[in-house]
Structure 1
Amino acid sequence: MYLKLSNTSLKVGSALAIAVLVTGCNPISVTATATDTQQDISLLNVSYDISRDFYKDYNALFRANYQQEHPDSKIYINQSHGGSSKQALSIANGLQADVATLNQESDMNLLVEKGLVKNDWQQAFPNNAVPYTSTMVLLVRNGNPKNIQDWSDLARNDIDVVMPNPKTSGTARYAFLGAYGYGLHQFKESVEAPDKTDDFIKKLLANVVTYDNGARAATTSFTQRGLGDVLITTENEAHLAAKQFAKGQVTIVYPSYSIVIANPVAVVTAVTEKGGNTDAATAYLNGLWDLSAQELLAEMYLRPSNEKVLAAHQDTLRNIETFDPVSIFGAWTQVMDTFFVDGGRFDQLARVGK
């Protein structure tokens, strides 16, 4: 897609240039030339890897509503996508995001620590600023030839696993914690004494054939490169693969016990207050709780926070047993320090070769 910039759109151009250089992603952009009689507003939404399909449609929905309410203004939304933690780090390093729509609280906390997002960001929007959730599922080859039914099968000697890298991808951390939480649940262990769980996770990680930087790259490795017998991924990504870019090639397996993925959003006020875009950025995120946006989330296989909308889509968004990672592992700062710092439990358990 080509991008046309006027002299009044230099902020967007700079942001997009940084987005390409820092994240290595192609921003999804819709811009136009400003006129002397209209006020043009450009927002940059920096988001995690596999949200691009939803936001592509939501941006069009929001723009139509915003233009109707503000006929004298034009609003344009630019996108940047990558691994959630990589995206948060890009913002911390200068990427001029107006809003951050990530998939892990710890990534948002980094922006708070840097003074880019306000401390009370969770109180700025409903449901602690989480408009939707998801969960982790297993994507297998069509017909499930290896008969993979649950997390436990991923530790078998005959299984090759594909997942993103927990050091760069929030989705990958949820994948690891989903399997780990299953182990604690299955073996009736605690985080403090996880002997059987650690042994299970060692075997699972020994089966991993590739750690991609982000969830979409892992999907590509599984569906297009033909790597692995199973992909650990989010529910929405699995459905998109099964219905669109790998139709007829894959089957979704719901584990018996999985993790809740919260997807927080926040205005990057350090950027919007300088650019005068705080009101527009706030309206953009508030719109995620509109009924039309909640319906769109469900249609894109994301679990809307509106319980009535979620209940109406139980044919595709199954009612399964899940757990909140904070209730099992503690606050996200504790989770990161325990599992994902250099030399943490993930590194210790992943050192065992297949």
Structure 2
Amino acid sequence: MKRMIAYAVLALGLGVAPVKAEPTEILNVSYDIGRELYEQIDKAFTASYKASSGKDITVNQSHAGSSKQARSILEGLEADVVTFNQVPDVQVLHDKGNLIPADWQSRLPNNSSPYYSLPAFLVRAGNPKGIKNWDDLVRDDVKVVFPNPKTSGNARYTYLAAYAYALEANNKDEAKAQEFVKKLLANVPVFDTGGRASTTTFAERGIGDVLITFEAEVLGTRKQLGEDKYEAVVPPVSLLAEFPVTVVDKVADKRGSRAIAEDYLKFLYTAEGQDILAQNYNRVHDETVKAKYASQFPETRLLTVEDVFGGWDKATRQHFAEGGILDKVFTRR
């Protein structure tokens, strides 16, 4: 005992920090419509972790619009991991907070995006307005519901998908593309801050003719609320929506949770994790799981932010920065 005390005193005298006990819980800060998905992921992960390590772990969740979540982390919310729905909301943790390294996307497969989706449409039974493609959404007789692109990554994908469609339909005419998204935005009666609130506006409040959100939310909402009440419409062309994840290094190292946080994210890439993701209508990369769930995903042609807009950095500067294209077109008719 005296020897142990002596070693402790010596360590303190040398300025050696005592080893932190590994925490028994971590926090996953995520996008708002991922709540039910991550409840399933967390249950499976904690069981897997217990089986492999013999230890109990609790995964706490925080859900809101991903851009809002990123700001909360920059303001002090201690996330061990983030599971967001667009690259800029992760990248900002490096650019403005130095919380993660610049090469965070190279740490896990598929640019640290374990699954993906695309903007799709949920319409009411019988599709009374005959909505099939993006050009139907700018008609005067159609009211569209999706969240505010200034606060929601979900909505930014919708905005960019519509813009990309208009560019392709008009021989890359920027002026016509801007007029197209201006009409689309003018057809939105309510701008909620996040995707789940917009689903509530459409499904529970009965506002609008079509909800635009991630395909996973479209298919999941239809299953939950009644396939006899809603129809899913996957447009023939849409935009690839990646769901990037990362350990928040500065927080994980401070809390001693890095090993657990890394295991949690790696679980998303396992066959079990990929199966849970696909069960919840997310498109995945595991070939076996893809084949198993292929029938639930209609074919569509996916454009990318890189090909159409030159990457997220350029898209953010041109469209979403103060005074950008979004500010110019975000007006009522």
Going from structure 1 to structure 2, the CA distance change for 1:115 and 1:309 (only over 3 Å counts) comes to same
Question: What is the correspondence of 1:183-198 to structure 2 with a 5 Å cutoff?
Answer: 183-189=166-172, 193-198=173-178
Letter in 1 for 2:32: D
Residue number in structure 2 paired with 1:100: 82
CA RMSD of aligned residues (A): 1.4
Kept in 2: contact 1:39–1:74 (CA 8 A): no
Kept in 2: contact 1:40–1:74 (CA 8 A): no
Cα shift readout 1:41-87 (whole Å, capped 9, x = no counterpart): 1000000111111110010111111001111x210000000001000
Kept in 2: contact 1:138–1:231 (CA 8 A): yes
Letter in 2 for 1:70: S
Going from structure 1 to structure 2, the CA distance change for 1:120 and 1:74 (only over 3 Å counts) comes to same
CA distance in 1, matches of 2:210, 2:58: 39
CA distance in 2, matches of 1:39, 1:279: 9
2:188 is the alignment partner of 1:208: yes
Say how many residue pairs are matched: 312
TM-score, normalization by structure 2: 0.91
Question: What is the correspondence of 1:80-119 to structure 2 with a 5 Å cutoff?
Answer: 80-113=62-95, 114-119=97-102
Instruction: Report the CA distance between 1:204 and its aligned residue.
Output: 1.4
SS of corresponding position for 1:179: helix
SS of corresponding position for 1:164: coil
Q: Which residue, out of 239, 262, 282, partners 1:282? A: 262
Letter in 1 for 2:79: A
SS of corresponding position for 2:128: coil
CA distance in 1, matches of 2:23, 2:301: 46
Cα shift readout 1:69-119 (whole Å, capped 9, x = no counterpart): 111x21000000000100011111100100011011111111012111122
Residue number in structure 2 paired with 1:262: 242
Letter in 2 for 1:42: E
Letter in 2 for 1:147: G
CA distance in 2, matches of 1:339, 1:317: 30
Unaligned runs of 5+ residues in structure 2 are 1-20
2:56 is the alignment partner of 1:74: yes
Instruction: Report the CA distance between 1:247 and its aligned residue.
Output: 4.4
Kept in 1: contact 2:22–2:257 (CA 8 A): no
Letter in 2 for 1:83: G
2:325 is the alignment partner of 1:330: no
Residue number in structure 1 paired with 2:8: none
Instruction: Report the CA distance between 1:202 and its aligned residue.
Output: 1.8
CA distance in 2, matches of 1:110, 1:165: 19
Residue number in structure 1 paired with 2:107: 124
More relative contact order in 1 or in 2 (CA 8 Å, sep 6+)?
2
2:275 is the alignment partner of 1:292: no
Instruction: Report the CA distance between 1:275 and its aligned residue.
Output: 0.8
Q: Which has the larger radius of gyration?
A: 2
Instruction: Report the CA distance between 1:312 and its aligned residue.
Output: 2.5
Poorly superposed stretches of 4+, deviation over 4 Å: none
CA distance in 2, matches of 1:139, 1:233: 8
Instruction: Report the CA distance between 1:39 and its aligned residue.
Output: 6.6
Query: Which stretch of structure 1 is more off in the superposition, 57-66 or 312-321?
Result: 312-321
TM-score, normalization by structure 1: 0.86
Residue number in structure 2 paired with 1:34: none
CA distance in 2, matches of 1:231, 1:47: 21
Residue number in structure 1 paired with 2:48: 65
Identity of aligned residues (%): 42
Residue number in structure 1 paired with 2:13: none
